[in-house]
Amino acid sequence: MTADPSHELFQNYLRHYQAHGADRAHVPFEQVTRFRLDRLPRWLDRIPLNAHILDAGCATGYLLSLLWETGYHNLSGVELSEQLVQVAETSLPPKVAITVSDIRDFLAQTSAETF
């Protein structure tokens, strides 16, 4: 059996993510709200605060952190990179569930009514 060629890429994804400036878009929640920065969907107020929300490809969990600060606490994230998940887990509240998985595998094992 041949090794998955993408495995090395995802093992080093954090380095690539940071090297190409993905963290530059991360600003504190206070600035997002004060300056009305376009970091959250404009239609977010249509989603009840108790909704179960999944961030597929959550990377370092930035969107999840903004959603948490907004008042959404039934949050889950799925990310293929173990390194990015480690970063997300250190910056998010323990109640936010982060799973290392391919989103296709995760969804195949998750009830359609969950999110």
Per-residue pLDDT tens for 19-49? 666 666 666 767 766 555 566 777 888 999 9
The CATH architecture that domain 6-108 belongs to is 3-Layer(aba) Sandwich (3.40)
pTM of the entire structure?
0.75
**Average pLDDT over the chain, rounded to an integer:** 83
Q: Hey, is 19 helix, strand or coil?
A: helix
Q: Say which residues have a Cβ less than 8 Å from residue 37's Cβ, sequence separation at least 6.
A: 27, 31
Q: Per-domain residue ranges for the chain?
A: 6-108
Cβ 88 vs Cβ 68: under 8 Å: no
